[in-house]
């Protein structure tokens, strides 16, 4: 089983959470709703990776977001890919809702946190979100 470390960040604005739909250009979990995520490379600091992914995926700079919570890593088993995802969850607050998606996503929505159950998401996104709230 492969062990893969990733970050998953959520942006919060006025009580709403940003979710993104993965495009057909990504390698895994196409068309599933997700947070802002990315692979942690080598000995990279997870928080720094989270900020890089926010800049790349939605176009917000470090100055546009404020860390609200860093939750404990979650282990997410993925039998289909024979992998264990180690997810480092983060919640950031922002007043900037000007989202510019990159190629990894084709849609975004601001939702109430409890609405997450209504979406077809990547594995354990609800649990990841709840760990940050």
Instruction: Quick: pLDDT tens for 30-52.
Output: 999 999 999 999 999 999 999 99
In the chain, what are the domains? 2-132 (3.90.79.10)
Is residue 92 within 8 Å of 12, Cβ to Cβ? Answer: yes
Quick one: pLDDT band at residue 121, thresholds 50, 70, 90?
A: very high
Going from the C-alpha of 92 to that of each of 23, 27, 30, 42, the distances in angstroms are: 23, 26, 24, 24
> Does pTM top 0.75 for this prediction?
yes
């Amino acid at each position: 089983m492969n062990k893969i470390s990733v970050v998953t960040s959520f942006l919060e604005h006025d009580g709403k959470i940003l979710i993104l739909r993965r495009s057909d250009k990504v390698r895994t979990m196409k068309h599933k709703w997700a947070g802002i995520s990315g692979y942690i490379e080598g000995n990279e600091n997870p928080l720094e990776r989270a900020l890089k992914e926010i800049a790349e995926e939605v176009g917000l700079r470090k100055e546009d977001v404020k860390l609200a919570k860093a939750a404990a890593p979650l282990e997410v088993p993925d039998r289909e890919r024979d992998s264990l995802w180690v997810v480092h969850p983060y919640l950031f607050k922002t007043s900037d809702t000007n989202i510019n998606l990159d190629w990894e996503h084709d849609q975004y929505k601001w939702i109430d946190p409890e609405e997450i159950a209504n979406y077809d998401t990547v594995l354990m996104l609800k649990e990841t979100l709840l760990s940050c709230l």
